Amino acid sequence: MVDFEPAPAEKPSSSRTLLIVAVVGCLAVVALLAVCGGGFGYFLYQGKVATDTALDEFQGKLDAKDYASAYALIAPEWQAKQTREEFEELFTMIDDVMGKYKSRSMASVNVNQAPGGSIANATYKVEYEKGSGQLAVVLKESGGRWHVLGYQLNSDNFEKRLKCPSCGFQNQNLGKFCTNCGKPL
Ligand SMILES: [Zn+2]
């Protein structure tokens, strides 16, 4: 019979354990930063590409004066506020005031994850045949597709166009008639 005396377990070195934990901790933090940073960068990149792609498609339909297809690309929230006819009237007027679309360059983009889908805000400098404009768009992602939710185009051309030739009133919104005197713009 052999009495088995277990060898005394090596005393864990608390300093080594701490060191390992510290190293693992550092690695975890580094990994987390990489995931978060990379994830955010990737997300923003995706948002930027998706925004540009969605806007390209939208602009392509407008260029072709295919307003029915352009209207189909906007978010339901916008469709609820503007009929197909009003939409066409608005973009026909933009086309008339600005001329043919030439090019655009992105000035800024900001992508946020929201419960109902991601939202992207982007601004562009846009060149048209008759001048340049600043475009601010809001795009909303739902079901993997991006839809144009908001579209705001500012240009000196509109200021000129919206100044009433009859009474001189500076109208703020695109319309056929002066909101001050009711005469055609
Ligand atoms: Zn007027």
Higher per-residue confidence, 110 vs 61 = 61
| Contact in structure between 98 and 133 (CB atoms under 8 Å) | yes
Distance from Cα 101 to the centre of ligand 1, integer Å = 29
User: Residues with beta carbon < 5 A to ion ligand 1?
Assistant: 164, 166-167, 169, 178, 180-181
Distance from Cα 174 to the centre of ligand 1, integer Å = 13
Residue 27 in domain:
no
What's the pLDDT score for residue 4? 47
- Domain count of the chain? 1
Higher per-residue confidence, 133 vs 112 = 133
What's the pLDDT score for residue 144? 81
Mean pLDDT calculated for residue range 55-63 = 94
Residue 17 in domain:
no
Distance from Cα 154 to the centre of ligand 1, integer Å = 21
Mean pLDDT calculated for residue range 173-185 = 87
Q: State the residue range of the domain holding 56.
A: 36-154
Residue 19 in domain:
no
Distance from Cα 53 to the centre of ligand 1, integer Å = 40
Residue 138 in domain:
yes
Non-local CB neighbours of 153 within 8 Å, separated by 6+ positions: 94, 98, 126, 133, 134, 135, 136
Distance from Cα 166 to the centre of ligand 1, integer Å = 5
For the beta carbon of residue 112, count every other beta carbon within 10 angstroms.
10
What's the pLDDT score for residue 86? 92
Asked if pLDDT for residue 21 goes beyond 50, the answer is no
* CATH number of the structural domain spanning residue 86: 3.10.450.100
Arithmetic mean of pLDDT over the chain:
80
65 band by pLDDT with thresholds 50, 70 and 90: very high
Residue 70 in domain:
yes
Q: What is the DSSP string of 103-162?
A: EEEEEEEEEE--TTS-EEEEEEEEEETTEEEEEEEEEEEETTEEEEEEEEEE-HHHHHHH
Nearest-angstrom CA–CA distance, 140 and 147: 5
What's the pLDDT score for residue 81? 92
1 band by pLDDT with thresholds 50, 70 and 90: very low
Residue-wise pLDDT for 131-157, tens only, equals 999 999 999 988 888 999 999 999 999
Residue 47 in domain:
yes
Residue 131 in domain:
yes
Distance from Cα 117 to the centre of ligand 1, integer Å = 43
Distance from Cα 170 to the centre of ligand 1, integer Å = 8
Distance from Cα 79 to the centre of ligand 1, integer Å = 30
Mean pLDDT calculated for residue range 43-67 = 86
Q: What percent of the chain has pLDDT over 70?
A: 75
What's the pLDDT score for residue 42? 60
Residue 29 in domain:
no
